[in-house]
């Protein structure tokens, strides 16, 4: 389970200079188990779209449907989705173990021993079992991102939402983590929406990619479809240009 329909999603922000249309009439479906990359230049509405899907932002109009159920107005914790951010957003005063178990302790009645066991299992998968007693400040960027990823995985969500999760890492680590992320996603078969402004990342990672510009969906398709039959000049230029 984990199919998402985004229907006519629109988000308008009121600013000092008037209304700003961040996302305009977005309409697409993510199939269960699919890895969809949402890609486009800075400011085109990627994060806003993801935040609306996660329930962190209220759409101006339109619907978010999860497995046939309208969750547009459901609280984030009632959506069974886990979000991973660019800035990791770890709690600085907690150890890696505490960061990973906090959500389970707050939102489930799972016994502590079971939570500990689950955290150990996931830490092994994400390669941070040796770092469980360290705090974020004692960890490298890559290790922190693994903790953030582990924190998302322990909750066993139906959907992963990732907002530029690798953009704070150096190029070598980024390419290693890309592969690891894909392996993890394949192993779990969790529906994933991955946001990036990086064309290379989109082309290499996505089962399909959704290309956004100025709040509007330009094309959605496999990387090869978008590459060989771009829907318009924007897509052709964007995919063709180096990131």
42 binds, among Mg ion, ligand ADP, none (CB under 5 to 8 A by kind): ligand ADP
185 binds, among ligand ADP, Mg ion, none (CB under 5 to 8 A by kind): none
Residues sharing a CB contact under 8 Å with residue 111, sequence separation 6 or more, in sequence order: none
Report whether 90 contacts 136 (CB < 8 A).
Answer: yes
CA gap 109, 91 in Å, rounded: 21
Piece of the chain touching Mg ion by CB under 5 A; list 42-50, 51-59, 208-216, 232-240: 42-50
For residue 61, what are its two tokens? 């109009």
CA 17 to chain centre: 30
Among 4, 6, 9, 22, binds ligand ADP (CB under 6 A): 22
- Residues near Mg ion (CB under 5 A), total: 1
Piece of the chain touching ligand ADP by CB under 6 A; list 12-20, 134-142, 165-173, 185-193: 12-20
Among 16, 17, 18, 42, binds ligand ADP (CB under 6 A): 42
Q: Does 20 bind ligand ADP (CB under 6 A)?
A: yes
Q: Smallest distance, Å, CB 46 to ligand ADP? A: 3
Size (the chain), residues: 243
Report whether 46 contacts 197 (CB < 8 A).
Answer: yes
Piece of the chain touching ligand ADP by CB under 6 A; list 40-48, 151-159, 173-181, 227-235: 40-48
CA gap 26, 31 in Å, rounded: 16
Burial 211-222 (b: 16+ CB within 10 A, else e): bbbebbbbbbbe
Q: Smallest distance, Å, CB 212 to ligand ADP? A: 7
Choose between 85 and 160: whose C-beta lies nearer to ligand ADP: 85
């Amino acid at each position: 389970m984990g199919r998402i329909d985004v229907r006519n999603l629109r988000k308008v922000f009121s600013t000092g200079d008037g209304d700003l249309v961040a996302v305009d009439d977005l309409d697409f479906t993510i199939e269960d188990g699919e890895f969809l990359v949402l890609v486009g230049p800075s400011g085109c509405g990627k994060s806003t779209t993801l935040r609306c899907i996660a329930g962190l932002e209220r759409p101006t109009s339109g619907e978010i449907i999860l497995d046939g159920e309208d969750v547009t107005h459901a609280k984030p914790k009632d959506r069974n989705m886990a979000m991973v951010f660019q800035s990791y957003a770890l709690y600085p005063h907690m150890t890696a173990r505490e960061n990973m178990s906090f959500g389970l302790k707050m939102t489930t009645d799972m016994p502590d021993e079971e939570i500990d066991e689950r955290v150990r299992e996931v830490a092994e998968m994400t390669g941070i079992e040796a770092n469980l007693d360290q705090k974020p400040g004692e960890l490298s960027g890559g290790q922190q991102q693994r903790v953030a990823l582990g924190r998302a995985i322990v909750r066993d969500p139906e959907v992963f939402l990732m907002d530029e999760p690798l953009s704070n890492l150096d190029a070598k680590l980024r390419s290693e983590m890309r592969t690891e992320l894909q392996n993890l996603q394949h192993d779990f078969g969790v529906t994933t929406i991955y946001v990036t402004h990086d064309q290379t990342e989109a082309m290499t990672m996505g089962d399909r990619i959704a290309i956004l510009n100025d709040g509007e969906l330009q094309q959605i398709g496999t990387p090869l479809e978008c590459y060989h039959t771009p829907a318009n000049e924007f897509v052709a230029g964007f995919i063709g240009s180096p990131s």
